[in-house]
């Protein structure tokens, strides 16, 4: 296994492991995040390593707060790192925009882990545009080795400019694994700083902000000079045709395309315009290879226009390369009429059988199954809109539950519920996880109270941030890095802001949940139901899951299949006509026993 | 030299562990290694794919469709679903013991016959080697050792560039110490099962 504090050597590291190591090599002393795939492992690793590495690390309640705490550290002279998935940066965009005006005193890097092909996301937005929007420098590594090495350079750039820097990765960098050569760990950066007051820069009232904008534009001119001279922007190979590329796309070009000259860009905002113009001049053609939006390509076209260079630029604007989904070696075949591409293999023909699908699903004994089953039963024929949110419970969209009709973003279901309640005659029921509640659920709940929206909010409190790999959240308290805090009690929070109907239920007792859900649905006003039960996968990891298993008494079973239809637990198996239990999966939670009308399922120790 | 392996299976079967063992062994054998893994939502019982490429000069973490030298199928239906990752020249190691998807287990869908699945591949490729990994693992002591059986089996595949001793050494370093015996036995039984095959 990886040892991220070892002095030197070569290790087989996941991109996110390499990034974590890179923080130690760059002397980062302060890090913060809200977990999100594909960036999550960095948080789990720092939870384990930060104290030994001499770094303060926290899971903030959301990305906005993560950027704010890291901004304060960097403004006080402490190197800081805030990291998140691409959509997380939307949440943190507010502090980011003005932080560029304020500037920072020690290096500050913000990592945005983008997800082309939306492997674990709700969209595939291209966050490179945040660098041009906020006017901050950007660095893009291509593989795990660079993901580690470029961090050191990124901190140097950030400090030279006094600006936060956007470190943009993608899934195939974060979740790629490669042999990585370790460098030395930096030990001479300060762990504590001191905030020297300077209101002209750190207080952006209009009178100061207008001047800070001028200063920011000056700094970006300086950044352009750095970019021109940066070793992160380099030229490889020779040929009449020039390929301009960045990020993981470089790897596909490098391996599949031959006979071209490649301008590999690692410092991608501001672009080295002179270097690009010189690279393009005299070429037969130029190909820009980048995933998602034509971010580089549009600037290349502008640079051509401004320099009077007339050359055809192949890319997304002329339809050569796609704008949707991540690239792969296959994508390079689209360039085969322009450049020499490694011949495509001939794949075996796909099957003509219709194979049963295998979508991800809620675990055996997952408490979300119980509260979803109860809600469905309580709702009956009442017209409802199920507003859901981001987490494992999103999987409620699948049959037999169908308890997700509207999902847009973190906390978005809770907000939208108020809108549905006002704009329709359907009952709005919002599901939200415990971590998501602290991230972005308290505000819409307050707003619903304020505006007297008729909604039910069901808080699925499974005592962890499950989907991203079981990180702690305010509801669990923190117990790492030498800091112990009490958990923030969700029921007290909800009661404290004045919700009139608050009930905490055990989702494994499905029938009792049905009763409570009925009351909540009938309640006039804002009703909150807290479904509290720890994630069994977490208990398994922590080795605290009580070993129980259920049995079906085949003599009592009338084969009504209520258990299969309502709980649909993967541990329940239908063999011929019989319902059986797979003991290797069953955790003995008792949900199926609870809904069995003949009481023919029994849980044993 | 370049060699690429596509490891397919179901979340929870140990696909990531197997790819880690193969990748570490490749690095120790002196090759450059590039891998790509699936994390996040798919791990909740969904189909998973792990790509491993190694050699003197590999750069890309992904392999071209059809470009695999070896498909290591941890689950029969997933192997068939992923056939296009390989060509007719690809070596295919296929575990024949199924993991039923939720809908099949609950009786709402049916799992194709193993012989039907096997025929799907055999009609396209002459290099298929089958192994009953779960059954062998049970004989070795426990079903969870099925991935050790698969790693042992792969070591015996014709043309596989990483040696038996190296793979076993890395496997035993990777698994928890208390399951060393189980994994060692499972590895050997997997190796034997495929050696006999030829
Ligand atoms: S609900 Fe109870 S009685 Fe009906 S099939 Fe299931 S176990 Fe048998
Ligand atoms: S007790 Fe029933 S619902 Fe709970 S895990 Fe076992 S089979 Fe699934």
- Does residue A566 have its Cβ closer than 6 Å to ligand 1? no
List the one residue out of A437, A594, A416 whose CA is nearest residue A528.
A437
- Show residues of chain A in contact with B10, CB under 8 Å: 358
- pLDDT-above-70 percentage for chain A: 100
Angle at B35 between CA B30 and CA B37, to 5 degrees: 150
Q: Do residue A175 and residue B38 have CB atoms under 8 angstroms apart?
A: yes
CATH top-level class of A234-341? alpha beta
List the one residue out of A70, A100, A104 whose CA is nearest residue A88.
A70
**Which residue has a Cα nearest atom 2 of ligand 1?**
A596
Alpha carbons A41 and A360: distance in angstroms, whole number = 20
Whether chain A has a CB inside 8 Å of the CB on B40: the answer is yes
- Kindly give, in sequence order, each residue whose CB lies less than 8 Å from that of residue B195, ignoring residues fewer than 6 positions away: B156
The structural domains of chain A, with segments of one domain joined by +, span: 10-229, 234-341, 367-542, 549-604
pLDDT digits (tens, 9 = 90+) for A536-569: 999 999 999 998 999 999 999 999 999 999 999 9
Q: How is residue A183 annotated by DSSP? A: -
pLDDT at A24 over 80: yes
Q: Quick one: which ligand is closest to A592's CA?
A: 2
Task: Give the model's pLDDT for residue A270.
Answer: 98
Q: What is the mean pLDDT of chain A?
A: 97
Over range A586-592, report the average pLDDT: 96
φ and ψ at residue A268, rounded to 5 degrees: -110, 5
Say yes or no: do domains A10-229 and A367-542 share a fold: yes
List the one residue out of B75, B72, B116 whose CA is nearest residue B93.
B72
Alpha carbons A109 and A31: distance in angstroms, whole number = 10
Q: Are strands A578-581 and A30-33 parallel, antiparallel or unpaired?
A: unpaired
Q: What is the architecture, at CATH level 2, of domain A10-229?
A: 3-Layer(aba) Sandwich (3.40)
Task: Give the model's pLDDT for residue B103.
Answer: 85
Task: Give the model's pLDDT for residue B106.
Answer: 83
Task: Give the model's pLDDT for residue B10.
Answer: 92
Whether chain A has a CB inside 8 Å of the CB on B109: the answer is yes
Q: Are strands B86-95 and A56-59 parallel, antiparallel or unpaired?
A: unpaired
Q: How far is the CA of A431 from the centre of ligand 1 (A)?
A: 28
pLDDT digits (tens, 9 = 90+) for B146-180: 999 999 999 999 999 999 999 999 999 999 999 99
Considering only alpha carbons, which residue of chain B is nearest residue A330?
Answer: B64
Task: Give the model's pLDDT for residue A58.
Answer: 98
One-letter-per-residue 3-state SS of A479-538: EECCEECCCCCHHHHHHHCCCCEEEEECCCCHHHHHHHHHHHHHCCCCEEEEEECCCHHH
From A308's Cα to the closest Cα of chain B, the distance in A is 35
Task: Determine the atom of ligand 1 nearest the C-alpha atom of A556.
Answer: 3
- As beta bridge partners, residue A433 has A460
Q: Do residue A353 and residue B112 have CB atoms under 8 angstroms apart?
A: yes
Q: What is the dihedral of CA A219, A221, A225, A226, to 10 degrees?
A: 30
- Show residues of chain B in contact with A561, CB under 8 Å: 107
Which pLDDT band, with edges at 50, 70 and 90, does B40 fall under? low
Q: Do residue B88 and residue A344 have CB atoms under 8 angstroms apart?
A: no
Q: Do residue B84 and residue A330 have CB atoms under 8 angstroms apart?
A: no
For chain A, the straight-line distance linking the first and the last C-alpha, in angstroms and rounded, comes to 35
User: What residue has token string 């009442």?
Assistant: A382
* Token output for A173: 């960098």
- Kindly give, in sequence order, each residue whose CB lies less than 8 Å from that of residue A128, ignoring residues fewer than 6 positions away: A138, A140, A166, A168, A268, A269, A293, A295
**Which residue has a Cα nearest atom 8 of ligand 1?**
A557
The answer to whether the peptide bond before residue A270 is cis (omega within 30 degrees of 0) is yes
* Token output for A589: 């939670």
Domain A549-604, CATH: 3.30.70.20
Alpha carbons A148 and A10: distance in angstroms, whole number = 13
Over range A215-226, report the average pLDDT: 98
One-letter-per-residue 3-state SS of chain B: CEEEEEEEEECCCCHHHHHHHHHHHHHHCCCEEEEECCCHHHHCCCEEEEEEEEECCCCCCCCCCCCEEEEEECCHHHHHHCHHHEEEEEEEEEECCCCCCHHHHCCCCCCCCHHHHHHHHHCCCCCEEEECHHHHHHHHCCHHHHHHHHHHHHHCCCCCCCCHHHHHHHHHHHCCHHHHHHHHHHHHHHHHHHHHHC
Distances (CA, A) of A278 to A165, A272, A281, A387: 26, 10, 5, 53
* Token output for B175: 């698994």
pLDDT digits (tens, 9 = 90+) for B74-99: 999 999 999 999 999 999 999 999 99
Alpha carbons A551 and B33: distance in angstroms, whole number = 47
Angle at A357 between CA B35 and CA A40, to 5 degrees: 40
Considering only alpha carbons, which residue of chain A is nearest residue B122?
Answer: A348
pLDDT at B57 over 80: yes
Over range A213-221, report the average pLDDT: 98
Task: Give the model's pLDDT for residue B41.
Answer: 61
Q: Do residue A251 and residue B80 have CB atoms under 8 angstroms apart?
A: no
pLDDT digits (tens, 9 = 90+) for A342-385: 999 999 999 999 999 998 889 999 999 999 999 999 999 999 99
Task: Give the model's pLDDT for residue B105.
Answer: 84
Contact status, residue B155 vs residue B184, Cβ threshold 8 Å: no
For chain B, the straight-line distance linking the first and the last C-alpha, in angstroms and rounded, comes to 25
Domains of chain B: 2-195 (3.40.920.10)
- Which three-class secondary structure state does DSSP give residue A83? strand
pLDDT at A226 over 60: yes
CA-based diameter of chain A, in Å? 86
H-state helical runs in A543-596: 562-566, 591-595
Q: How is residue A193 annotated by DSSP? A: -
Q: How is residue A465 annotated by DSSP? A: B
Contact status, residue B127 vs residue B83, Cβ threshold 8 Å: no
Tell me the CB-side half-sphere exposure of residue B49, using CA atoms within 13 A.
19
Contact status, residue A268 vs residue A226, Cβ threshold 8 Å: no
In angstroms and rounded to an integer, the radius of gyration of the C-alpha atoms of chain A is 27
- pLDDT-above-90 percentage for chain A: 96
List the one residue out of A41, A42, A1 whose CA is nearest residue A24.
A42
The residue ranking higher by pLDDT, A361 or A76, is A76
List the one residue out of A74, A159, A91 whose CA is nearest residue A125.
A91
Over range A421-437, report the average pLDDT: 97
Distances (CA, A) of A357 to A327, A562, A567, A581, B142: 25, 23, 19, 21, 28
CATH top-level class of A367-542? alpha beta
pLDDT digits (tens, 9 = 90+) for A176-201: 999 999 999 999 999 999 999 999 99
- Show residues of chain A in contact with B84, CB under 8 Å: 347-350
- Which three-class secondary structure state does DSSP give residue A360? coil
Whether chain B has a CB inside 8 Å of the CB on A467: the answer is yes
Distances (CA, A) of A341 to A102, A312, A328, B156: 47, 19, 13, 34
Whether chain A has a CB inside 8 Å of the CB on B180: the answer is no
pLDDT at B198 over 80: no
φ and ψ at residue A269, rounded to 5 degrees: -150, 125
Task: Give the model's pLDDT for residue A576.
Answer: 87
Contact status, residue A565 vs residue A578, Cβ threshold 8 Å: no
Task: Give the model's pLDDT for residue B37.
Answer: 87
């Amino acid at each position: 296994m990886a040892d991220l504090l070892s002095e030197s050597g070569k290790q087989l590291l996941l991109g996110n492991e390499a990034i974590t190591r890179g923080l130690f090599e760059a002397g980062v002393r302060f890090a913060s995040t809200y977990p999100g795939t594909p960036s999550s492992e960095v948080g789990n690793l720092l939870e384990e390593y930060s104290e030994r590495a001499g770094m303060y690390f926290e899971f903030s309640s959301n990305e906005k707060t993560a950027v704010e705490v890291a901004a304060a550290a960097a403004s006080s002279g402490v190197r800081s790192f805030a990291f998140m998935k691409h959509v997380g940066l939307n949440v943190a965009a507010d502090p980011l925009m003005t932080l560029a005006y304020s500037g920072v005193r020690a290096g500050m890097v913000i990592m945005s882990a983008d997800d082309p092909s939306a492997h674990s996301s709700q969209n595939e937005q291209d966050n490179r545009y945040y660098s041009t929007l906020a006017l901050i420098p950007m660095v893009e590594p291509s593989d795990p080795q660079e993901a580690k090495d470029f961090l050191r350079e990124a901190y140097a750039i950030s400090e030279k400019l006094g600006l936060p820097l956007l470190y943009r990765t993608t899934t195939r960098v974060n979740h790629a694994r490669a042999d990585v050569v370790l460098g030395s760990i930096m030990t001479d950066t300060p762990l504590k700083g001191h905030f020297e007051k300077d209101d002209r820069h750190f207080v952006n009232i209009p009178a100061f902000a207008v001047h800070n904008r001028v200063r920011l534009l000056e700094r970006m001119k300086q950044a352009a000079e750095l970019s021109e001279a940066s070793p992160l922007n380099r030229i490889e190979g020779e040929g009449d045709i020039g390929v301009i590329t960045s990020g993981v796309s470089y790897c596909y070009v490098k391996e599949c395309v031959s006979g071209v000259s490649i301008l590999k860009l690692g410092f991608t905002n501001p672009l080295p315009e002179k270097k690009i113009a010189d690279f393009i001049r005299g070429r037969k053609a130029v190909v820009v290879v980048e995933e998602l939006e034509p971010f580089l390509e549009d600037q290349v076209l502008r640079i051509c226009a401004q320099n009077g260079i007339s050359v055809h630029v192949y890319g997304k604007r002329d339809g050569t390369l796609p704008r949707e989904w991540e690239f792969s070696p296959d994508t390079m075949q689209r360039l085969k009429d322009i450049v020499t591409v490694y011949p495509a293999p001939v794949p075996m023909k796909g099957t003509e059988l219709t194979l049963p699908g295998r979508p991800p699903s809620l675990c055996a004994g997952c408490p979300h199954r119980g509260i979803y089953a109860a809600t469905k039963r309580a709702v009956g024929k009442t017209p409802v809109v199920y507003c859901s949110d981001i987490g494992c419970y999103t999987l409620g969209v699948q049959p037999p539950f169908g308890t997700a009709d509207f999902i847009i973003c973190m906390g978005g279901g809770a907000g939208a519920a108020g809108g549905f309640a006002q704009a329709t005659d359907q009952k709005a029921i919002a599901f939200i996880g415990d971590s998501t509640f602290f991230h972005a659920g308290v505000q819409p709940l307050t707003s619903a109270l304020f505006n007297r929206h008729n909604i039910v909010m069901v808080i699925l409190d499974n005592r962890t941030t499950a989907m991203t790999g079981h990180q702690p959240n305010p509801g669990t308290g923190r117990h790492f890095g030498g800091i112990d805090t009490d958990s923030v009690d969700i029921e007290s929070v909800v009661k404290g802001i004045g919700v009139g109907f608050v009930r905490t239920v055990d989702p494994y007792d499905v029938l009792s949940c049905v009763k409570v859900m009925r009351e909540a649905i009938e309640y006039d006003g804002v009703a909150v139901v807290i479904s509290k039960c720890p994630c069994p996968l977490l208990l398994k990891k922590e080795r605290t899951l009580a070993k129980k298993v259920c049995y079906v008494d085949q003599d009592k079973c009338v084969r009504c299949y209520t258990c299969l239809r309502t709980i649909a637990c993967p541990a329940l198996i239908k063999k011929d006509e019989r319902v059986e239990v797979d003991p290797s999966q069953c955790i003995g939670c008792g949900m199926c026993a609870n809904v069995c009308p003949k009481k023919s399922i029994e849980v044993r120790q | 030299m370049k060699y690429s392996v596509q490891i397919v299976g179901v979340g929870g079967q140990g696909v990531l562990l197997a790819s880690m063992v193969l990748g570490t062994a490749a690095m120790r054998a002196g090759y450059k290694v590039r891998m790509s893994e699936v994390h996040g939502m798919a791990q909740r019982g969904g189909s998973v794919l792990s790509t491993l490429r190694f050699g003197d000069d590999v750069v890309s973490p992904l392999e071209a469709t059809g470009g695999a030298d070896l498909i290591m199928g941890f689950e029969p239906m997933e192997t068939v679903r992923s056939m296009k990752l390989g060509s007719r020249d690809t070596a295919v190691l296929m575990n024949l013991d199924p993991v039923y998807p939720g809908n099949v287990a609950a009786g709402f869908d049916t799992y194709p016959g193993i012989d039907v699945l096997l025929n799907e591949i055999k009609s396209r490729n002459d290099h298929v080697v089958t192994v009953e990994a779960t059954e062998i693992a049970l004989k070795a002591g426990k079903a969870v050792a099925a991935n050790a059986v698969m790693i042992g089996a792969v070591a015996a595949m014709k043309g596989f560039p990483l040696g038996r001793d190296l793979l076993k050494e890395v496997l035993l370093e990777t698994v928890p110490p208390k399951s060393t015996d189980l994994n060692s036995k499972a590895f050997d039984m997997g190796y034997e099962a495929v050696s006999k095959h030829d």
